[in-house]
């Protein structure tokens, strides 16, 4: 199932692409990369944490999203607080009590994720284009 950004839900697109590459083209090397946006000295967001944020939006719950990624609520909550403090804006809003408690992405969080995935796609395209020029064709 895809998220609103078109990314796969839990489970790494990276892993899916990697296994597809090894099945489809076992002839030689191919590019693979991890891309993070770093805030301050240590807070960073990459594909996995971006998918966590998308899961929070989709599920409406930090707890449910954390469970889906095999992490504790405390770890996810701590990461979100650190990320928001370093970024200088809130990624999620929390609703306590009432008829619909939970969490969702802020407009700024949604905008950041859209930009992150756009940048990720552009870097992947550039890497795919540049890789054979640097390493040669296999």
- For the chain, which residues make up each domain, given as ranges? 35-135
For residue 102 the two structure tokens come to: 């939970």
Instruction: Give the number of residues written for the chain.
Output: 138
CATH classification number, 35-135, choose in 1.10.10.10, 1.10.443.10, 1.20.1260.10, 3.90.1150.10: 1.10.10.10
Three-state DSSP state, 93: strand
Which tops the pLDDT comparison, 65 or 95?
A: 65
pLDDT in tens, 16-62: 444 344 455 567 788 888 999 999 887 899 999 999 999 999 999 99
| Model pTM score | 0.75
Displacement of CA 40 from its chain's centroid (Å): 19
| Residue 23 φ then ψ, to 5° | -80, -40
Contact 83, 105 (CB under 8 A): no
Q: Is the pLDDT of residue 98 over 80?
A: no
């Amino acid at each position: 199932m895809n998220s609103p950004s078109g990314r796969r839900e839990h489970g790494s697109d990276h892993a899916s692409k990697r296994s597809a590459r090894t099945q489809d083209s076992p002839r030689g090397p191919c590019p693979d990369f991890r891309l993070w946006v770093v805030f301050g000295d240590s807070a960073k967001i990459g594909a996995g944490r971006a998918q966590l944020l998308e899961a929070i939006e989709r599920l409406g719950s930090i707890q449910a999203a954390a469970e889906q990624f095999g992490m504790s609520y405390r770890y996810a909550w701590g990461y979100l607080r650190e990320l928001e403090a370093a970024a200088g804006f809130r990624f999620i809003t929390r609703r306590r009590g009432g008829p619909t408690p939970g969490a969702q992405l802020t407009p700024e969080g949604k905008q950041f994720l859209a930009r992150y995935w756009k940048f990720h796609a552009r870097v992947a395209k550039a890497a795919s284009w540049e890789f054979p020029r640097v390493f040669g064709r296999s």
